[in-house]
Amino acid sequence: MSGGIAMERASALIRKDPETLGISSRAISDFIDAVHESKLELHSFMLLRHCAVAAEGWWAPYAPEFRHALYSLTKSFTSTGIGLAVQEGRLSLDDQVISFFPDDQPSDVSENLAAMRIRHLLTMSTGHSSDVVDGFRLGESGLVRAFLELPVEHVPGTHFVYNTPASCMLSAIVTKVTGQTLADYLKPRLLDPLGIDADWELTAEGISNGGYGLSIRTEDIAKFGQLYLNKGVWQGRRLLPEEWVSQATSKQVSNGNSDTSDWMQGYGYQFWMCRYGAFRGDGMFGQYCVVMPSQDAVVAITANVTDMQAVLNLVWKHLLPAMGDRPLPEDREARETLTQKLSSLAIQPPVTRTSSPIVSDVSGKRFSVKGTDRDLIWDIVVTFSQDKCVVGLDRGKEHYDLECGLGYWLRSETNLPGRRLAKPEPVKIAASAGWSDDSTLLIAIRPIETPSVQTVALRFDGDSLTVETRKPR
């Protein structure tokens, strides 16, 4: 057994029946049903109470062993790195941002830029009038300089604006004071003790992308939430200062006032305040780490949704009121129903028709297709077998194979280039193919460590083939 596996198992969460933890199995089932009725695409769900897992499920083709891109939930981990650096005396929250980057300062430092402190980066109160992510691309070199050159219209600390580059600046500051990437700095201090095997993207400058670059498993999200619920203690060992946890998860700035929105309850240090006394880290398309101190509970969710408030509304409606002060009587029937429901979760392929009259005519036949660049020609060969098809793509010396289950999700890896797919190493995917009509093969591709899905339609017409790529999400 490798050290990584041993570490992971040693820090795995325990499992208990919901009723033992004071939660109704029927209420959890109702939550799952409500998710489906609302047509919300969840990829995973985990509910912790009293440091134990009460319920967990993954919608196939997603599975417990796969990491999932966190997007802006990354920011809460970035904040944690700052908290640890403060504890070690490497910086203070009142340090000037420009003081760390003397070589990247603009020639004319404005009064507001000079007044910007680390705490303003943490609280999204840098003084910018809008999200400066539109001002430059995070993947380009010179991120720090680009950030410092942007106009700072307001006095820092007086104006809340969600600001992803500010989180990247926090990561850059950690690297500046430690000589390590944020990922490397957190590994012995946070990630290893929690048993988290992380994938953290780097910017062109070699900095961990502190705004949205982290990918971890659902259970790892839950453990992170449990650490904050425990006020910085994990399995009897203090990893974070209690004072930091308290400050990070308390309202530091106002961002509005609403009885219905969980995005207008205040903001901490890269944590959102929620209704009902909860707090959370979250990321685009529905990545959540929701901590409910009054209920001693954590909810971890990965998803591909556009209405993120709708997911939280279901948590408040079904899960929060289902948590009692003491264990509940055994409800074997409800528990068995819930167990069956959680074990059979699945996202259905878009098309399940597995055959067409033209299969024998097109299988193994080579088609030439022009790409978006007029000089780009792809040779495409689709080969059908009993339960799958393989799409082969050739361009000069380049060759790629895409394996698809016919009417079901088939997991594999690909280095097929494309938006949200291209990475230096093979990408884990699940792909399904089916006939939407006699001449159209519909292929759905899910990079299963991201929320994304891409659909491609292959339309066969005699000796010609038309490829239509639908906008990925």
Q: What is the DSSP string of 371-402?
A: -SSTT-EEEEEEEE-SSEEEEEEEETTEEEEE
Give the DSSP letter string of 46-108.
EEEETTEEEEEEE-BT--TTS-EE-GGGHHHHHHHHHHHHHHTTS--TTSBSGGG-TTT--SS
Q: How many whole angstroms separate alpha carbon 473 and alpha carbon 450?
A: 10
Condensed to tens digits (0 to 9), the pLDDT of residues 439-461 reads 999 999 999 999 999 999 999 99
Q: Are 138 and 165 in contact (CB under 8 A)?
A: yes
In percent, how much of the chain has pLDDT > 70? 92
Amino acid present at 271:
F
Condensed to tens digits (0 to 9), the pLDDT of residues 296-345 reads 999 999 999 999 999 999 999 999 999 999 999 999 999 999 999 999 99
- pTM tops 0.85, yes or no: yes
Whether a cis peptide bond, with omega within 30° of 0, leads into 61 is: yes
What the block records as the tokens of 364 is 């193994």
Tell me 23's DSSP state.
B
Is the pLDDT assigned to residue 140 strictly greater than 70?
no
If one compares 378 and 89, the residue with the highest pLDDT of the two is 89
Q: Among 395, 425, 382, 389, which residue's Cα sits nearest to residue 410?
A: 389
Q: How many whole angstroms separate alpha carbon 47 and alpha carbon 300?
A: 7
Q: In the prediction, which pLDDT does 12 show?
A: 80
- What the chain holds in terms of domains, given with CATH numbers, is 3-66+217-343 (3.40.710.10), 359-469 (2.40.128.20)
At residue 212's C-alpha, the angle toward residues 287 and 179, to 5°, is 135
Sheet holding 287-292, edge to edge: 14-15, 52-58, 42-49, 297-303, 287-292, 279-283, 272-273
- Per-residue confidence band for 106, with pLDDT thresholds at 50, 70 and 90: very high
Q: In the prediction, which pLDDT does 138 show?
A: 47
Tell me 330's DSSP state.
P
Q: Are 389 and 433 in contact (CB under 8 A)?
A: yes
Q: In the prediction, which pLDDT does 417 show?
A: 65
Q: How many whole angstroms separate alpha carbon 267 and alpha carbon 249?
A: 8
